[in-house]
Structures are given as structure tokens and as C-alpha cells.
Amino acid sequence: MNFEIIRLESVDSTNDFAKSKIEEFSVKKNFVIVAKEQTNGRGQRGNLWFSEKGKNITCSIAIFFDSFLIENQFYISKAVSISIINALSFFKSGFEIKWPNDIYFEKKKIAGILIENSISGKNLNYSIIGIGLNVNQEIFENDLDKATSLKNIISKNIDPNFLFELILKEISILINLLEKKMFEEIDLYYFQFLMNYKILAKYSDNSGVFKGKIIGIENSGHLIIEKQTGEIKKYDFKEIVFL
């Protein structure tokens, strides 16, 4: 898969830039926006995404689908998380996916993903896949997520562009699997990297703190947990906290 790559010095948000490029100029081909700096980088749940200029990867990949059912959209998220881990594995092993799609190393977040879809009927028209990956930044202010970077992990500066190219290669491979609807293969990788999968761990939900095991994920992306009491519960994105 080939992507036109558009490199920017500074932009509000690469996701917003990608969206306006598609909508204003009726672009229908896959492309990538990479920026050295974002002035209004957006994260999940309305959060902001901070990234020191020139040190990290902040990019958005716009992908158009021929026929891809909305009900399978969580597979995009799975495919992108796997791609990032595969690329990072070039440097070190031990990266994990924290459900739904954050990338962690030893309980610290190294990358976040913000996927925005355009829907037409029962199908996805296009997806804008925003990736923020901390590469050489060492200090994180307002560090609510307990952030880390590749540099903090391997004690080396890495050219963000080199890692970006690795990610693009991996994403091409995984998007190819997606387009061929090879969902079982994608699940094999995803569960191999999923944090706490089938391991007893502590969580909290609206009924309090409990121990349980992640036993699966629904097609919709809902997390399925078997509590220590034997009760099986399904969770939407904001309904559970990993402790």
C-alpha cells in the first residue's frame, strides 16, 4: 500500500488537517500527514495530546475503504495497535496493548491512538488514524497517564522518521489483512499483546474495586471480564478503570 506523505512543520492537529483535506478537496486516496508540532493535538475523551516539537511522532493516516462494515470497525483499532508494537519491537520487546488501544511499556503509556471514522450506510467510507508516539521526549508535564518514551526505555535517541517509516510499513501489512477480512489472524496478534489477558488483575467499575480476568473482546470493542466471583460483565470504553 502506498501513501502520499505530507510533512508539516506545525499544524493544529494532524487529524483535523487530514479531515479538512478530505472534505475541502474531495481527496479519495490514502495519505499521511506528519507534523513536527501540533498546537491543538487531540487525545481520546476530549483530552489534549502534548508532544514536544520535533521529538516524537504525531501523524494521521487517512485510509479509504471499498467495502468495510461498520460492525468490524474495532479491527482497525486492533490492526493499528499491533502495527505500532511490531514497529517498536525492532528496538525492544515487552510492549503491550492496554485495551482498547493504548500502547504501554511496564505500566507506562508510550503511544495513543485516535481513530475518527466517516460512515456511509452500513460501511466505513474512510478512517483517519491519528498516532501520537513518544520517541525522544524525556520529561512529561501534567503526567496523568504516566507517560514514557522510547528514549526513556532504551536510553538512546532514535530518529523519529525512521520509526515512522517502520510504522507505515507495518500498517500497510495489517491494513492488507483488514481488507482481506483476515480477522482471526488480527485477533491472534492482538490477544498476544493484550495487557492482563486471562490474568487476574484489579479493576474498578461503578460497583467498586474488584479482581477479574479479561476473557475476550466483543466485535463492538466492548471488554469482557470474568470477575473473581464468576460474574461475567461487558464494559464500554469509559466504564472500567485498570488499577
Q: Is 134 in the site for ligand BTN (CB under 6 A)?
A: no
83 binds ligand BTN (CB under 6 A): no
Amino acid at 154: I
Residue type, 173: I
Cβ-based nearer residue to ligand BTN, 84 or 178 = 84
**112 lies in the site for ligand BTN, by CB under 6 A:** yes
- Nearest C-alpha neighbor of 85 from the set 148, 185, 170: 170
Least gap, CB of 119 to ligand BTN (angstroms): 20
Single residue of 3, 43, 64, 123 touching ligand BTN by CB under 6 A? 43
Strands (DSSP E) found in the chain: 4-11, 31-38, 57-64, 95-98, 102-105, 108-120, 123-133, 201-205, 208-217, 223-227, 232-235, 241-242
- C-beta of 175 vs 212, nearer to ligand BTN: 175
The amino acid that residue 184 corresponds to is E
**Of all residues in this chain, which one has the CB nearest to ligand BTN in the complex?**
112
Told to check if 137 binds ligand BTN by CB under 6 A, we report no
**Cα–Cα–Cα angle for 227, 196, 97, rounded to 5 degrees:** 135
96 lies in the binding site for ligand BTN (CB under 6 A): no
Give residues in contact with ligand BTN (CB under 6 A).
13-15, 38, 41-44, 47, 49, 58-60, 102, 112-114, 130-132
